[in-house]
Amino acid sequence: MSDLSGLYQELILDHSRRRVGDGELADPHASHHELNPTCGDEITLAIRLDESGSTIERIGWTGDGCSISMASASALTELATGAEVEQVRRLVDAFRTMMRSKGAGEADEELLGDAVAFHGVSKYVMRVKCAMLAWVALEACVASATARDA
Amino acid sequence: MTLDPTATLGGRLPATLRDQFPYLAQELNGHPLAYLDSAATAQRPTAVLDAERAYLERSNAAVHRGASTLVGTSTGAFEEARATVAAFVGAGDREIVWTENATDAINLVALGMADASAGLGGSEADVFALRPGDEIVVTEAEHHANLIPWQRLAAKTGATLRWIPVGDDGTWGIDDAASVIGDRTRVVAFAHVSNVTGFAAPVADVAEIAHRHGALVVLDACQSVPHRPIDFGALGVDFAAFSAHKMLGPTGIGVLYGREQLLDALPPARTGGSTITTVTMERAEFLPSPHRFEAGTQPVSQAVALGEAVRFLDGLGMGGVHAHEAELAELLVDEVARIPGIRLVGPPPGAPRAALASVDVPGVHAHDVGQFLDAQGIAVRVGHHCAQPLHRRLGLRATTRASAYVYTTADEIRRYGAALAEVRGFFGAGA
């Protein structure tokens, strides 16, 4: 299955089984539901900020979808939990840029950590939305939580 | 199973048939393409591609407009295609309306009924007028194209939408239909063959029940017309819809069949040029069918190509096509049924089904199944196949569907079975 190894890297298959962050979050500061109507994949992702409102303290999500979308939510949770809001915005931007690259260039491993494993997914145009699902939900959560604070 | 693993059709259809489909000769991800997605769209033989080009090179002109020699030629080709399609489904020429696609054909009926309910179309359109208390009956297994137009019609008219329930395998029987269809029923709309389960509805029996209660019968024939001999008159349906691109023809054109006297009375939902007899500043009078429905420029070269596709299928013989596909269906089910843990949706092994099979691979999402097959050159459809309510009823969100057609070989089905057997192992979802 060497053809598929670029898409289904071990790290992605591992995250799709571990599902870090899987479970509803109590008392979230923001929650967002995201649906991919073409395949039916969906996620409800919620965040809690710390007391200062500048750091994401916890992330929780419930979802149903392919291994790419669920692994992406898991990797995102690991990466963004404990990160400052500004850093999370940079993460989302960097992840989106990587997913639009169609496999070209080098992903920013220093910033994205394990999430660079999804670089290979960007070559599969029909799967990019799967990988983006949780990140779009996180972006919406951050926007809504910080707007409320302002 | 006595199919030749390399040739098409166990000798039923010409061994050279595959050579006539250039698309099928290509590779997918380094493997010979096994195209098992014909229920979504079929590939076209060279004869169909050539017919469209030949029309455009020699005969193209506006149809039914003007009086030149050129218009005579183009109009002749356009109407000859209609006659060819009509004969193919046991219809008269005036019973075949060109539409954008099958979805558009169903909408044309539902929208025409909404117009009739609003008083357009006069007393002869009364048969189409719905009122609060009237009922529209569909099944739980419908493609969204044969569900949403009826939801909208119910919402516009105050009629109630009801549905024939399906069992745990997604199929239904004549008793289920009889328990829902009643004296309030005005329309019964259902698929001849389900695009998810491959189940073939007892059309003539349902039509008989519907007509006994004075209801109209609308058949979604997208998955039947390409695959078996069809005579809409003998089936007893009032309207039917099918699509050219699923029967070796082009995209951009579908067909609405309707009984002549009904089509002549159905208000045209889309109006404009070439649908009329007399137009004043206040009002318009419409031509009889089919032209009352064909507003604006028509998909002419596509109609000509569809006519050629029908000639191609006629040349193979629809009886032989159906028999070939019945064998492939059996093989497909055998291949799936021997893999432990795979859930086959639809009729059980041994029961009749169209040459398509949707499966759930426990622990692996359909998109991942499809991707795994894709990497081995096997093209299938994944998702809800535009039938969300059916999937919900089956407790599934998405399935993986393999579907065969005239050019599908037993070898391709076996490659699919072998690859499907490896999926759970690859994704670590158990052996």
CA-to-CA distance for B357 and B404, rounded, in angstroms?
9
DSSP code for B288: S
Please tell me the predicted confidence (pLDDT) of residue B5: 38
At B250, list the tokens.
Answer: 């082009």
What are the pLDDT digits (tens) for B130-169?
A: 999 999 999 999 999 999 999 999 999 999 999 999 999 9
Rounded (10°) CA dihedral B279, B283, B285, B290: 90
Which residues 96-115 of B have a C-beta within 8 angstroms of A? none
CA angle B365, A88, A80 (to 5 degrees): 55
Which residues 261-290 of B have a C-beta within 8 angstroms of A? none
Q: In the predicted model, is pLDDT for residue A45 greater than 70?
A: yes
CA B414 to chain centre: 26
Closest residue in B to A36 (Cα) is: B383
A123–B contact, CB cutoff 8 A: no
* B386: annotated active-site residue: yes
- Tens place of pLDDT per residue across chain B (431 aa): 333 434 445 566 787 899 999 999 999 999 999 999 999 999 999 999 999 999 999 999 999 988 899 999 999 999 999 999 999 999 999 999 999 999 999 999 999 999 999 999 999 999 999 999 999 999 999 999 999 999 999 999 999 999 999 999 999 999 999 999 999 999 999 999 999 999 999 999 999 999 999 999 999 999 999 999 999 999 999 999 999 999 999 999 999 999 999 999 999 999 998 899 999 999 999 999 999 999 999 999 999 999 999 999 999 999 999 999 999 999 999 999 999 999 999 999 999 999 999 999 999 999 999 999 999 999 999 999 999 999 999 999 999 999 999 999 999 999 999 999 999 999 988 64
Q: Tell me which chain B residues have a C-beta less than 8 angstroms from the C-beta of A40.
A: 383-384, 388, 391, 397-398
Question: What is the DSSP pairing of strand B356-360 with strand B343-344?
Answer: antiparallel
CB contact under 8 A, B383 and A67: no
User: Domain extents for chain A?
Assistant: 2-149
Which residues 383-402 of B have a C-beta within 8 angstroms of A? 383-384, 388, 391, 397-398
What are the pLDDT digits (tens) for A94-133?
A: 999 999 999 888 888 889 998 999 999 999 988 999 999 9
Over residues A49-69, mean pLDDT: 95
With 0-12 CB in 10 A as exposed, 13-18 as middle and 19+ as buried, what is B79?
middle
CB contact under 8 A, B367 and A124: no
Q: Tell me which chain A residues have a C-beta less than 8 angstroms from the C-beta of B375.
A: 1, 3-4
Q: Which of B29, B372, B398 sits opposite A39 (nearest CB)?
A: B398
Mutate to test the interface with B, among A4, A43, A62 (most CBs of B within 10 A): A4
Q: Which residues contact B196 (CB under 8 A, 6 or more apart)?
A: B141, B170, B345, B346, B358, B385, B387, B390, B391, B399, B401
CA-to-CA distance for B211 and B222, rounded, in angstroms?
22
Q: Tell me which chain A residues have a C-beta less than 8 angstroms from the C-beta of B394.
A: none
CB contact under 8 A, B366 and A66: yes
More confident call, A6 vs B26:
B26
User: Domain extents for chain B?
Assistant: 9-45+317-426, 51-314
Radius of gyration of chain B (CA): 22
Options 3.30.300.20, 3.40.50.970, 3.40.50.2300, 3.90.1010.10; CATH for A2-149 is 3.90.1010.10
Q: Tell me which chain A residues have a C-beta less than 8 angstroms from the C-beta of B388.
A: 40
Q: Token pair 């097959």 is at which residue?
A: B373
At A60, list the tokens.
Answer: 């929780």
Please tell me the predicted confidence (pLDDT) of residue A149: 54
Question: What is the DSSP pairing of strand A41-49 with strand A56-64?
Answer: antiparallel
CB contact under 8 A, B375 and A38: no
Options 2.40.10.220, 1.20.140.10, 3.40.640.10, 1.50.10.20; CATH for B51-314 is 3.40.640.10
ipTM above 0.90, yes or no: no
The topology (CATH level 3) of B9-45+317-426 is: Aspartate Aminotransferase, domain 1 (3.90.1150)
Q: Read off the amino acid at residue A79.
A: L
Closest residue in B to A15 (Cα) is: B427
Please tell me the predicted confidence (pLDDT) of residue B10: 53
Which residues 233-262 of B have a C-beta within 8 angstroms of A? none
pTM over 0.90: yes
CB contact under 8 A, B398 and A40: yes
DSSP code for B364: B
Q: Where do the H-state alpha helices sit in A6-127?
A: 10-18, 67-80, 85-99, 109-112
